[in-house]
Structure 1
């Protein structure tokens, strides 16, 4: 019974075709485009090599350590491998359409392990550290981590959720600098004094005009109308005289 129990545990750790079809809702394994296998307790994903049409794959929070079965999934654009036991990602170097990759919460300990990503020209978003979920990699503790990553993977626009270029990159840079100052317990320098801004709307802007103000306004409008009529009349007379000549 003990051996049977162990066998059942091993079987449950493996990913079967029937499980893939059940999760995806497809009838043909080659037709599976999206697959969410997060937190399913698997450590063997060899069957995934049959899912050649996969576009999005979520494998977070499992017990994965090897990724060889993913090397031929050329259609993948999104891959989440966070919270696993991965040390080697060389198998991902051939995923030519990959745009977003999450590796936070693994065991990647050197920049050498990331060089395989240099060939992925469409890779824009990479996450190795997640401050919200407290997921990291040993490599993230390198003091020059950010600078080295930018040099190694210049195609990235977002690293660990922070914009590296384009809209929002300046704000991301400011937030990063503030985080560093807080961690190092540095002061932010003297706070400059700025004049108190004046009100946008002057007092009385929304108040209704008084009776006298209404009369003055009406008289002014009447005079301007009369002057306009006089000018029009004079111009008309001038035109008539010109036609007579």
Structure 2
């Protein structure tokens, strides 16, 4: 009977972030000393005293039942925040998190693009995730056909949106691959109808599998980018092998017994 009561008390504690919970999770006696905090899948509904961890840099609250983010407003040094799989509709308190760089709110109930305007002042924000296809997380705002364009226009400094790079070399390569996929898919339709190829006969036209000449430049550029990336990987591998070899040689010399002249 006592065990059952104790379990209920522990469950109630987990619904709210308390100093006891934070100290037991981090081993820190002073809440201001906590820099990294992971509170995933604990059934948390109330963020309680988490705002007292004013030096927090990384915070993971995914998989809870959080609706109110007000206690996070005091976390001015917070750089990485994961709130995926909660019940959040209002992001307004995050306006004060001026150091925020990486924000994951996939799997919540953010209704519209207007609800994202409060984040525009976060100049360091460069990675935003509102949907995650791997875990089938999304938000109602993502149903808007112009959602992606609107978000990129609203946040010109964003480098990654929903796990896809939107600027830099990686994004160029991603776009090239996507263009190739679109080109191949385009050849699968005729007059808007999908062409069935399961029973393709060997006497199809000679030009059936050819890609239009206008798309050759896309393919050539993709090959070039792939080769450049592979070349860089080989260089990094060679450097890593050299460093490992030097380290092993140095450690081997240290282990050898010292020789003394008689």
> What is the TM-score with the length of structure 1 in the denominator?
0.70
The alpha-carbon distance between structure 1 residues 166 and 112, as it changes in their structure 2 partners (threshold 3 A), is same
User: Conserved in 1, the CA contact under 8 Å of 2:58 and 2:80?
Assistant: yes
Q: Distance in 1 between matches of 2:21 and 2:139?
A: 30
Shift, 1:173, TM fit: 2.7
Q: Distance in 1 between matches of 2:20 and 2:62?
A: 20
Out of 94, 97, 110, which is 1:95 matched to?
A: 97
What aligned pairs does 1:207-222 form with structure 2 within 5 A after superposition? none
What aligned pairs does 1:199-210 form with structure 2 within 5 A after superposition? none
The alpha-carbon distance between structure 1 residues 181 and 135, as it changes in their structure 2 partners (threshold 3 A), is farther
Aligned residues: CA RMSD: 2.6
Check if 1:164 corresponds to 2:182: no
Shift, 1:171, TM fit: 2.9
Tell me which residue corresponds to 1:130: 132
User: Which structure 1 residue ranges, 5 or more long, are not aligned?
Assistant: 195-245
The alpha-carbon distance between structure 1 residues 136 and 180, as it changes in their structure 2 partners (threshold 3 A), is farther
User: Conserved in 2, the CA contact under 8 Å of 1:76 and 1:95?
Assistant: yes
User: Conserved in 2, the CA contact under 8 Å of 1:181 and 1:188?
Assistant: no
User: Which structure 2 residue ranges, 5 or more long, are not aligned?
Assistant: 190-207, 214-262
Query: Who wins on radius of gyration, i.e. which is larger?
Result: 1
Check if 1:37 corresponds to 2:51: no
| SS of residue in 2 equivalent to 1:143 | coil
User: Conserved in 2, the CA contact under 8 Å of 1:104 and 1:130?
Assistant: yes
Shift, 1:175, TM fit: 5.4
User: Conserved in 2, the CA contact under 8 Å of 1:129 and 1:140?
Assistant: yes
Out of 192, 203, 208, which is 2:210 matched to?
A: 192
The alpha-carbon distance between structure 1 residues 65 and 72, as it changes in their structure 2 partners (threshold 3 A), is same
Q: Distance in 1 between matches of 2:188 and 2:118?
A: 40
Tell me which residue corresponds to 1:18: 20
Shift, 1:174, TM fit: 4.3
The alpha-carbon distance between structure 1 residues 187 and 96, as it changes in their structure 2 partners (threshold 3 A), is same
Deviations 1:152-211 (Å, cap 9, x if unpaired)?
A: 1111000001011002112333455678899xx8545764379xxxxxxxxxxxxxxxxx
The alpha-carbon distance between structure 1 residues 111 and 105, as it changes in their structure 2 partners (threshold 3 A), is same
Shift, 1:141, TM fit: 1.1
Q: Distance in 2 between matches of 1:152 and 1:98?
A: 16
The aligned length equals: 190
Shift, 1:10, TM fit: 3.5
Q: Distance in 1 between matches of 2:165 and 2:14?
A: 40
The alpha-carbon distance between structure 1 residues 109 and 58, as it changes in their structure 2 partners (threshold 3 A), is same
Tell me which residue corresponds to 2:63: 61
Q: Distance in 2 between matches of 1:13 and 1:149?
A: 33
